[in-house]
Structure 1
Amino acid sequence: MDAELINADGAESLDGKTRLILAGEQLFAESGIQGASMREIASRAGQGNHAAVQYHFGSRDGLVRAIFDYRMEQMEEARGAMLGRAKSCGLLKDAQTILEIILLPQLDLHDADGNHSYARFLSQYLLQSRSPKFGDFSGSEPPNLTMALKLLRERVDYLPPFVAQRRLISVSLMFLNILVRHHGTDSALFGETFEQALDDTMEQIVNVMCMPLRRLRGAHEDGATARESL
Structure 2
Amino acid sequence: MDTRISIPALNPAVSADSDPKTALILAAEIAFARDGIEGASLREIAARSGQRNHHAVQYHFGTREALVQAVFDYRMDQMEAARAAMLRAARETGRIDTTRAIVEAIFLPQIALIDEFGDHSYAAFLNQYLLRYQGKRFGEFGERRAQHLDEILHLLRMRMPDLPDPAAQRRLITACFMFLNILNIHLRASDSAEENFEVAVNDTIDQIVLTMEAPYTP
Q: State the TM-score, normalizing by the size of structure 2.
A: 0.89
Task: Tell me the C-alpha RMSD between the 2 structures.
Answer: 1.6
Partner of 2:76: 72
Distance 1:107 1:130, change over 3 A: closer
Is 1:199 the counterpart of 2:202 in the alignment? yes
Partner of 1:106: 110
Q: 1:91 aligns with which of 88, 95, 100?
A: 95
Distance 1:210 1:64, change over 3 A: same
Contact 2:87 2:105 in 1 (8 A): yes
Contact 1:76 1:144 in 2 (8 A): yes
Aligned identity (percent) is 50
Distance 1:165 1:40, change over 3 A: same
- Structure with max Cα Rg: 1
Contact 1:76 1:145 in 2 (8 A): yes
Query: Partner of 2:79: helix, strand, or coil?
Result: helix
The alpha carbon displacement at 1:11 in A equals: 3.1
Partner of 2:5: none
- Runs of 4 or more above 4 Å deviation: none
Q: 1:34 aligns with which of 32, 38, 42?
A: 38
Could you tell me how far apart the structure 1 residues matched to 2:193 and 2:145 are?
38
Partner of 1:225: none
Could you tell me how far apart the structure 2 residues matched to 1:78 and 1:68 are?
16
Gaps of 5+ in 1: 1-7, 216-230
Partner of 1:18: 22
Comparing 106-115 and 136-145, the one that deviates more: 136-145
Greater fraction helix: 1
Query: Partner of 1:134: helix, strand, or coil?
Result: coil
The alpha carbon displacement at 1:189 in A equals: 4.1
Could you tell me how far apart the structure 2 residues matched to 1:142 and 1:80 are?
11
Could you tell me how far apart the structure 2 residues matched to 1:100 and 1:39 are?
38
Contact 2:105 2:152 in 1 (8 A): yes
Could you tell me how far apart the structure 2 residues matched to 1:182 and 1:86 are?
27
The alpha carbon displacement at 1:140 in A equals: 3.1
Gaps of 5+ in 2: 1-11
Could you tell me how far apart the structure 2 residues matched to 1:25 and 1:114 are?
13
Comparing 121-130 and 100-109, the one that deviates more: 121-130
